[in-house]
Amino acid sequence: MTKQELIHEIERLKKEKNAIVLAHYYSDSDVQDIADFLGDSLELSRKAGTTDASVIVFAGVHFMAETAALISPDKKVLIPALGAGCSLADGVTGQALANWKASNPDGIIVSYVNTTAEVKNYTDICCTSANAVAVVKSLPADAKVYFVPDRNLGAYITKSTGRQMELYDGCCRVHEQVTAKMILDKIAEYPQADVLIHPECPCSSDPAILEHPNCYMYSTSGILRHATESPKKQFLIATEVGTLHKLRKDNPGKEFIPVSDKIVCEYMKMSTLESVYEALRDEKYEVKIPSEISKRALEPITKMMELK
C-alpha cells in the first residue's frame, strides 16, 4: 500500500474498532502525524487513563505500553513493534529493588516511569522527567531514597533539590551521548541560541551547563513549551531527534538545530505506519500484565499521577 492508502486504512480501522493511536515525540514522523495524541511519558500516561477508546495502539516502547495497560486494564493495549525495548527499562530488575528494600525496610524506592511493570511492582512512587523534582520534594525529608534506574536524571534531581539519594547505575544509551563538551562546542557555534536539554543527558548535573545562561533543562514536553513561548528564533536541541519534527511543525518561523544528529533511539522508530496498520487490523501485539503484578505495579503510578 502507498502511504496515503495506509493512512486511510488506519483511520478506517480506528473508527471501526473505537481505537486511538498514542505516540511519543521520539516516534517516526509519519506516525506522529497520524497519532490521535502525541506526548511525553507523563502526558501519554494520563491520556491512557482518560480515553474512552476500547483499543489503544501505543507507538512507543514496551514500558510505555505496559504503563497504559496498567492504567487501563479494561482496554486492549497494542504495541505495533514487539521488540521495541529501552536501555533504561531493560537495565534494572525487580530483584535488585527487592534486595535494596530488604536492607532498607524503611527506605523509599522512586522509579522513573521508564521501567518494567515488574520493577514498578517493587516501587513506592514513580516519576517522569517532567515531574521528577516535584516527586522527590514530596518525600519525607528523613527518608532514605533509592532512585532507579537513571543515574543522570537522579544526579540532576540531587542538584535541583539538594536531596541526597542512592542512585542505581543505569542510563539511556541515546541521551548518554550528550556531553558538556558537545553542548559548549555548539554554543560557541551558535552563541545566541537557547539550549534545551533533556535531564537524561549526563551533562544535566554539570555546573558548566546548569549555570550557563543559555541552557535549560526540560522534559520533552518542557522543551516544546519553551520553544513555543520563547521570543528567540534559534534553538539547540539536546534530546532524541524525533522531537525536531514536532518543534519545526509547531514553530515554522524558528530554527531548531540538534546538538548531534546521532541522538536516535532505534526502538522508538520501530513503530511505522505499516506496523500501526497491522496492529489495528490484526489486533496485535496485545500487552498483558500478569495479575500477580498488575495491582501492586499500578500503585506507584497512581501516587505519581495524584501528586499536584
What domains appear along the chain, each with residue ranges and CATH number?
3-84+268-288 (3.40.50.10800), 89-173+294-306 (3.40.50.10800), 175-258 (3.40.50.10800)
Q: What is the mean pLDDT of residues 135-150?
A: 97
pLDDT (0 to 100) of residue 41: 77
pLDDT (0 to 100) of residue 185: 97
* Other Cβ atoms within 10 Å of 176 Cβ, number: 16
The model scores a pTM over 0.85: yes
pLDDT (0 to 100) of residue 308: 65
Percent of the chain with pLDDT over 70: 100
Q: Using one digit for the tens of pLDDT, what is the confidence trace for 148-200?
A: 999 999 999 999 999 999 999 999 999 999 999 999 999 999 999 999 999 99
Q: What is the mean pLDDT of residues 219-235?
A: 96
Give 242's pLDDT tier (boundaries 50, 70, 90).
Answer: very high
CB 205 within 8 Å of CB 155: yes
- CA dist., res. 295 & res. 290, Å (int): 9
pLDDT of residue 49 exceeding 90: no
Phi, psi dihedrals of residue 155, rounded to the nearest 5°: -65, -35
Helix 291-306 vs helix 41-50: crossing angle, to nearest 10: 110
Report the chain's mean pLDDT, rounded to a whole number: 95
Dihedral angle of Cα 223, 85, 60, 220, to the nearest 10 degrees: -10
Q: Which three cell numbers stand for residue 78?
A: 497494542
pLDDT (0 to 100) of residue 258: 98
CB 81 within 8 Å of CB 274: no
pLDDT of residue 56 exceeding 70: yes
In this structure, of 43-47, 123-127, 294-298, the range with the lowest mean pLDDT score is 43-47
Strands lying side by side in the sheet with 166-167 = 125-127, 108-112, 145-148, 166-167
pLDDT of residue 45 exceeding 80: no
